[in-house]
Structure 1
Amino acid sequence: MLDVDAVTEILREAAEAAVLPRFRSLSEGEVEEKAPGELVTVADREAEELISARLRGVVAAPVVGEEAASDDPGLLRALRTEPVVWLVDPVDGTRNFVRGDTGFAVMAALVRRGETVAAWILRPTEDRVYVAERGSGTWRDGVRVHRAPAPTDPARLRGSVLTRFLDPAGRHRAAEAAPRFASVGPGAHCAGVDYPLLFEGGQDFVLFHRTLPWDHAPGTLMVTEAGGVCLRPDGGEYRPGDDAVGLLNASDGECWKTVRSLLLG
């Protein structure tokens, strides 16, 4: 049986040791641009090393961390070739973290035979933790979370569309559709914030284009276990190891269909 609490404790301890001491205390030399527009900090690297080493003691499996995979993209093959894989995002929302914004998270997920079976999102500055296991629901600080259906009228729906990686045509469609909804925001620039907003009722839908596995494996499991829907724009299932792009997440099936028709045509 998976020791869910042990993983939660690993994330908490890594946050206490490597992340929180650097929050609003980063020096210039502790922040780098690993790719155009993509930041990494000493906190990301140290937290990932701490978490990865200890997760192997919970379940002996390869660890695919965001920073390790940035250095060696070949690590992603493990999601297609290995029966069990850990995913780690040591600081999701690094740009927010660098700015001194509390919108960041520490995340992990366990993938078996290509499907996410357990997930964790820790919000260190709030000391808040979300946990999900396939078939056992989504939990916030020990209290089960259920996502109620959204309103059927599009004019009452609230959501986010992350346009950064959309092509010009996709951005144009999103801009044209936005007035049909109650509100459409740009997202929190942190999956560990955007997903809980969806399954806790703060928004009704969220559209992503880029779907890196460490960003989306934790949240998609939590949304579906809370009663929501996470599907590719063509209606296909999301799997952490696939190479597809685009992911539309919604409070329920009818909401998903409504948003799909308005946003994506």
Structure 2
Amino acid sequence: MASTQDVLDLMRQVAAEVITPRFRALSTGEVEQKTPGDYVTVADREAEVLLTRELTRMFPDAVVVGEEACFTNPSLEFSLPGTRHAFTVDPVDGTRNFVKGSPDHAVMIAELVDGITTRSWIWQPEHGDAYVAERGAGVELNGHVLVRDEQPRLPLGATSKDSRHGFVGGGELAPVVESAWSCGIDYPYLLEGKVDYLVYKNVHPWDHLPGALMVTELGGAVRNFRGVDYTAAWTGPGVIAAATPEIAETVQRLWREP
């Protein structure tokens, strides 16, 4: 069986071949919108094809569920909880940033066994950072054990929801800031202590499974607004990722999402 390092090497190779050469070099015909504001590029499509092909070669019995494949066939997303062995693939997380020339984008993969996330990878090509997690074994950043940098402050959160920027929860929270518009950047911010929680409205497994495993491996919590732990079976709306279960509970109480 291919190792954790083998999968990371694959992600780096694919990024070097088809993502990085397009960074700040996309032509008009190489960018589309699947829905208003939801971008897809030739880099997304080519990277997903390569990652899917090689993961299938490495793990012949596994199902590979990619973001772009699910846009064509939405039923794939809902098959994950009942699959014996599967991988999710987000070929370019933060495509909007990628299109705008921002380095804040990532390649993300999660491995599931019987619907439970067992390993996950986040590779940030322009930042050169690799986050890898294995259930029960913690998180590594560039091959070194990652320890969260705790900050003495009111819980600081990030979200893409404009109406919540500056929200302080009656003084129990620090003013909410804008997210990076990429789970592959946001979750590492949480892992390293740059923020204390994240709130998302849209929930897809390729976006959240990789970071969710990492957060829980560091003692945090990822839950929906009903207080139920996040799994591949949850498709939203809404999820809270927090550095501690206590912060998750506070945000759930104050945010008042449905």
Q: Give the SS at the match of 1:257.
A: helix
Aligned to 1:72: 73
Q: Distance in 2 between matches of 1:218 and 1:150?
A: 24
Unaligned runs of 5+ in 1: 165-170
Q: Distance in 2 between matches of 1:230 and 1:192?
A: 15
Q: Distance in 2 between matches of 1:174 and 1:234?
A: 24
Unaligned runs of 5+ in 2: none
1:206 CA displacement = 0.7
CA contact (8 A) 2:18 2:47 kept: yes
CA contact (8 A) 1:173 1:263 kept: no
Aligned to 2:99: 98
Task: Spell out the pairing of 1:1-265 with structure 2 (5 A cutoff).
Answer: 3-60=3-60, 61-147=62-148, 151=152, 156-163=154-161, 171=163, 175=167, 177=169, 180-264=172-256
CA contact (8 A) 1:76 1:241 kept: no
Runs of 4+ more than 4 Å apart: 148-151, 171-176
How has the CA–CA distance of structure 1 residues 114 and 162 changed in structure 2, closer, same or farther, with 3 Å as cutoff?
A: same
Q: Distance in 2 between matches of 1:130 and 1:252?
A: 19
Deviations 1:50-76 (A, max 9, x none): 111111122221111001111111222
State the AA in 2 paired with 1:145: L
Q: Distance in 2 between matches of 1:150 and 1:253?
A: 16
Moved more, 186-195 or 222-231: 222-231
CA contact (8 A) 1:174 1:263 kept: no
Q: Distance in 2 between matches of 1:147 and 1:113?
A: 29
Moved more, 27-36 or 78-87: 78-87
How has the CA–CA distance of structure 1 residues 236 and 95 changed in structure 2, closer, same or farther, with 3 Å as cutoff?
A: same
**TM value normalised by structure 1:** 0.90
State the AA in 1 paired with 2:229: E
Q: Distance in 2 between matches of 1:66 and 1:129?
A: 20
CA contact (8 A) 2:167 2:176 kept: no
How has the CA–CA distance of structure 1 residues 173 and 234 changed in structure 2, closer, same or farther, with 3 Å as cutoff?
A: farther
Q: Distance in 2 between matches of 1:77 and 1:201?
A: 32
Q: Give the SS at the match of 1:183.
A: coil
Question: Hey, which of these two has a bigger chunk of helix by percent?
Answer: 1
Aligned-pair RMSD on alpha carbons? Answer: 2.0
Q: Distance in 2 between matches of 1:208 and 1:230?
A: 11
1:134 CA displacement = 0.6
Q: Give the SS at the match of 2:241.
A: strand
State the AA in 1 paired with 2:231: R
Q: Give the SS at the match of 2:117.
A: strand
Percent identity over the alignment is: 40
1:237 CA displacement = 1.3
Q: Give the SS at the match of 1:131.
A: strand
Deviations 1:93-133 (A, max 9, x none): 00000000001000001111111111000000122100001
Q: Distance in 2 between matches of 1:233 and 1:107?
A: 24
The structure, 1 or 2, with the larger RCO (C-alpha pairs under 8 Å, 6+ apart) is 1
> In the comparison of the two structures, how many residue pairs are matched?
256
CA contact (8 A) 1:147 1:201 kept: yes
1:182 CA displacement = 2.4
Q: Distance in 2 between matches of 1:179 and 1:68?
A: 43
